[in-house]
Amino acid sequence: MIVRKIYCFAALMLSLACARAAHTQVQLLLSADTAKPGDTIWAGVDLKMESGWHTYWKNPGEAGQAPDIKWQLPAGVTAGDIQWPLPKKLPPADVTTYGYQDEVVLLVPLTLASNLPAGPLNFAAKVSWLECNESCIPASGGVQAVLNVGADNKTSADAATLAEWQSKTPLLDNPYALSAWWETPATNETRSLIIANQQPVDAAKNIKFDSVDFFPDASDAFEVQSATEIISANAADLRIRKVVKKYSGDWPQEISGVLVLNDGGNGERAIQIKLPVGNAAPSSKTIPNPDNSPASPAQSLWHMLLFAFIGGLILNIMPCVLPVIALKILGFVSEAKSEPRRVRNLGLIYAVGVLLSFLVLATLVIGVKAAGNHAGWGMQFGSPVFIVCLTTLVTLVALNLFGVFEVILGGGALNAAGELASKHGAAGAFFNGVLATVLATPCTAPFLGAALGFAFAQSAAVIVLIFLTVGLGLASPYILLSWNPAWLKFLPKPGAWMEKFKIAMGFPMLATVIWLFNIAASSYGKNVLWLGIFLVVVAFAAWIFGEFVQRGRSSKGVALAFVVILLLGGYEFALEKELDWRNALPPKVTTGSLKESAEGIDWQRWSPGALAVARASGQPVLVDFTADWCLTCQVNKKTSIEVATVREKLKSLNVIALLGDYTHFPDAITAELNRYHRAGVPLVLVYPKNIDAAAIVLPEVLTPSLVLAALDRAAK
C-alpha cells in the first residue's frame, strides 16, 4: 500500500507542470449570493469527470491520492474542514480504492467575521486531484467566486445543488450503540476486528440490512483492509468482521470511518463513527449509551402505561380537544337531573366511543408497520382526503350548534323529546367520544410523546394496550363524573342559558374549521378555494334541511330532493372537477431561508445532510420538528421559539436553525423521531457546538426560559 502511494505521489510531483485538467472540469459553488457578517456559508468544489474517469475520497484506499484544496481567502474569512460525500468502492477488485465517478462536490464551511464591511469578497482556491481511468493523471485547476457582504441573506442558484450533496455526506449522529474489539490475538502483522451493535434502537422494527460495509479513515500506521465479512445483518445484533494490518507502532486503540448500511426499502445511509477498540467483547449490560446517541427513556412497560394514562388525561386540556370537551360538559349539565343510571350509561358510551376510536388508530398503526412503512402519531392528518372529510364534518357540527339544523334537542325541549331524546343522547355521547379522539391526534401532551414513542417500536399487543390506556386517560374524567352523580351538583342548573352556550360553542368549532382549512391549503395550494365553495354549498344544504325538512310543514320531499341535488352537484363540481381532491399537489421542496418575516428566525430546511453539515461547522444547532396540523407545535412557535428573546439569543450565539416539516409525514423525519423515542411532533432539539455531544431534547410544551437555557448549555 505504502509503495503504491509513494508511486502516486511521485507521479503527482513530476507532473505538476500539467496544471490543466484534461478529463475533469472544476468550479467553485457558493450557497449564497449575499451573506451577513458573522454568517457561515457553504462552498462546494465541483469536480465533473468525463465518462469512465474517477477521482478519490479522503482515504483513497490501496492506491490513489485524495483531492486537495488550498484556499486564498480574504481577511476575516476562515475555511472549515472538507465534508466528504459517501464514496463508492472502485474497481479493480484486487486493488480496492474509495472514490467518485462522474461528479462529486466537496463541501467546505466558510465563516465570515462579524466585523466584515459591506461589499464584495473574492474567494479563490487551488484544487489538485488525481483523475484515473486505465491510468492516473495528476491535475489541478484554479477556482474562484464572489460573495457580497450585506445586510440581508440571499441564497444562490447553486444552493439546491449544495443541499443535495450535503444529504450525501455521512450522518454524524449514530443511532446505534456500537462497540469494537479485537477478536483474536495478533498473527504476524494482521489482526481480526469486530464492530457490533450492542444496544439496538431498531431491534423491534425487525430490520435486516441487505448490505453492511465499513469505509475506514486513512492512517499511515495501519490499514483496515477493504473486505467486510458480515456476521449478522440484523439491526438487533449487527456484527461485522474486518482485518487490520499494522505497519508501525502499537495496535490502534481507536478506529474511525463510515459505517454504510443498506436496508433496501429506505436505501443507503452512512454514519460517521469513532470507536475505542477493546481487547475483548464487552458485556452488553455494561455498555453505556454513546455521547452522540439519544438517551433512551425508561423502557418499563408499567412506566409507559402510566405515562400513557397521564398523557391521555392531559389531552383533555389541549387546544385541539377543548371544543368537544365544552360540548361534553354541556351534555352533563343537561343530564344533571336525569336518573343516575342514565348518566352513568352516557358516560360509559362516551368512553366506548373514545376507546373504539383508539383501537382503530392502533389497528391502523399495526397495519402500516406490517406493510413495512413508517407509522406516526396523527399520521392521518398527512392525508389530504382525511382533512377534507374532517373539515366537512366539523363544519356540520358547528352548523348544528348554531341551530341551522338539529341533531340534539336541549333545554326544556329535552323532557318533551322522550324516548327520541334518549336515543339522541346515546348517539351524541358516542360521537363526542369519536370526535374528541380524532381532534386529539394532532396534539402531543407531556408524557404522551414518550409513551407513544415506546409503543410504536413494540409488538402489536403492546401497541393496542398503550393506545387503549391513552384512551382511558382521555375518557376517565367523564367516567368518574358520570359514576358520581353527587359531583354534578357543582355544575350550573339546566336552563335557557344552555341554548346560548351551545350556540357560543359553535364559534370554537368554526375556528377548528379554519385551522383544518389552513392545513388543506398546504396540500391543494390556491385550489383550496374550491373546498371553501363546497363548504358553503354544504352550509346552504344544511340550512334548507333544517328550515324546510325538519321545521317545515309542507313540501318536505321537494326540499329534501333539493338538498340531495345541492350536495351531489357541489361534490361533483367543486371537489371532483375543480379541486381534484383525491390528487393533492406534491409537497413543496424549497431551498434557502424559510423565515416567515423580515425579523423572524432564519430557518433552513432540515435534512440528515443539512444537520451533518451544520454540526460540522462547530456552531450550536436548533432543530424544530413541526407540522401545520400540530397545534402544540404552533403554540410553541408563537410563545417560546419565534419570540424576541430567543431570536436575539440565536443571533448572539451564532446558532444554526433547522426546520423539519412533518406535515406530510416524510420518512426521514419519522425515522429521526423514532431515534428519539417519539411517535410524533413536536420535537425540539438543541445540538451543542461540541460535535461529539448529544442533543438536548426539550419537552413537548415549551417556555422561552427552557429554550434559552438549552441554547446557553449548547454554546459552552
Question: For the segment 506-536, what is each residue's pLDDT rounded down to a tens digit?
Answer: 888 888 888 889 888 878 888 899 999 999 9
Same domain assignment for residues 620 and 690: yes
Helix spans in 553-602 (H): 556-570
567 occurs within a structural domain: yes
List the beta bridge partners of residue 276: 254
Provide the sign of the torsion angle of the four alpha carbons 363, 369, 371, 374, taken in this order.
positive
pLDDT tens readout for residues 371-387: 655 566 767 777 788 88
At 443 the pLDDT is 66
Q: Which of 210-214, 333-337, 361-365 has the highest mean pLDDT?
A: 210-214
Instruction: Dump strand ranges (E) for 235-379.
Output: 239-246, 254-262, 268-278
- The region of weakest confidence among 408-412, 620-624, 702-706 is 408-412
Answering whether pTM is above 0.75, one says no
Pick the closest to residue 141 from 45, 8, 64, 42 (CA basis).
45
Q: Which three cell numbers stand for residue 146?
A: 464572489
Which residues, 6+ apart, have CB-to-CB distance to 327 below 8 Å? 401, 432, 502, 505
| Contact status, residue 107 vs residue 41, Cβ threshold 8 Å | no
Three-state DSSP class for residue 304: helix
366 domain residue, yes or no: yes
Per-residue model confidence (pLDDT) at position 701:
83
The rounded distance, in Å, linking the Cα atoms of 367 and 354 is: 20
pLDDT band at 416 (very low <50, low <70, confident <90, very high): very low
- The DSSP string of 98-143 is EEEESEEEEEEEEEE-TTPPSEEEEEEEEEEEEEESSSEEEEEEEE
Kindly state the average pLDDT of the residues 582-588. 66
Q: Is residue 598 part of a domain?
A: no
Question: What confidence tier does 195 reach under pLDDT thresholds 50, 70, 90?
Answer: very high
- Kindly state whether residues 183 and 148 are assigned to the same domain: no
Phi and psi at 259, nearest 5°, equal -90, 125
Which pLDDT value is given to residue 405?
84
On whether residue 284 sits in a domain, the answer given is no
The answer to the question of residue 285 being in a domain is no
> What is the amino acid identity at position 690?
N
Of the residues 532, 564, 579, the one at which a domain ends: 579
Q: Do 264 and 335 belong to one domain? A: no
Instruction: Examine residue 590 and state whether it is found in any structural domain, yes or no.
Output: no
In which band, very low, low, confident or very high, does the pLDDT at 337 lie, cut at 50, 70 and 90? low
Does residue 552 surpass a pLDDT of 90?
no
| Residue 631 predicted with pLDDT over 80 | no
Indicate whether 223 and 256 sit together in one domain.
yes
Per DSSP, the three-state class of 641 is helix
> At 234, which CATH number?
2.60.40
Highest mean pLDDT: which range of 21-30, 191-200, 415-424, 569-578: 569-578
Between 71 and 333, name the one with better pLDDT: 71
pLDDT at 619 over 80: yes
Q: What CATH number did the domain enclosing 643 receive?
A: 3.40.30.10
Examine the pLDDT at 640 and tell me if it is beyond 90: yes
Do both 369 and 507 map to the same domain?
yes
What is the length of the chain?
716
Same-domain pairing of 344 and 478: yes
Looking at the domain assignment, is residue 18 inside a domain?
A: yes
For the ranges 59-68, 79-88, 412-421, 659-668, which has the lowest average pLDDT? 412-421
Q: Are residues 653 and 698 in the same domain?
A: yes
Q: Residue 292: what pLDDT?
A: 39
Distance separating alpha carbons of residues 99 and 443, to the nearest angstrom? 46
Three-class SS state of 687: strand
Look at residue 351 and tell me whether its pLDDT is greater than 60. yes
What is the C-alpha radius of gyration for the chain, rounded to an integer number of angstroms? 31
Question: Percent helix, strand and coil across the chain, each rounded to 5?
Answer: 40, 25, 35
Domain total for the chain? Answer: 4
CA distance 436 to 432: 6
Verify that 470 and 533 share a domain, yes or no. Answer: yes
Q: Is residue 490 part of a domain?
A: yes
Do 495 and 623 share a structural domain? no
* Digit-coded pLDDT (tens) for 400-411: 888 898 764 343
According to the model, what pLDDT value does residue 645 have?
A: 94
31-55 burial code (b ≥16 CB/10 A, e <16)? bbbbbbeebbbbbbbbbebeeebbb
Burial 147-168 (b: 16+ CB within 10 A, else e): bebeeebebbebbebbbebbbb
Is the bond into 216 cis (omega within 30 degrees of 0)? no
The per-residue pLDDT for 451 is: 76
Q: What is the pLDDT of residue 641?
A: 95
706 three-class SS: helix
> Can you tell me which residue has the cell 424576541?
644
In this structure, are 154 and 222 located in the same domain?
A: no
**According to the per-residue pLDDT averaged within each range, which of 117-126, 295-304, 310-319 is highest?**
117-126
Tell me the average pLDDT across 65-80: 93
Give the integer Cα–Cα distance in Å for 125 and 228.
37
Whether residues 693 and 620 share a domain: the answer is: yes
| 192 and 334 fall within a common domain | no
CATH of the domain at 17: 2.60.40.1250
Query: What pLDDT was estimated at residue 479?
Result: 82
Asked whether residue 488 carries a pLDDT value surpassing 70, the answer given is no
Strands (E), 198-267: 211-216, 222-224, 229-232, 239-246, 254-262
Bigger pLDDT: 125 vs 616: 125
Instruction: Domain of residue 559: give its range.
Output: 301-579
Q: Mean pLDDT, the chain, as a whole number?
A: 80
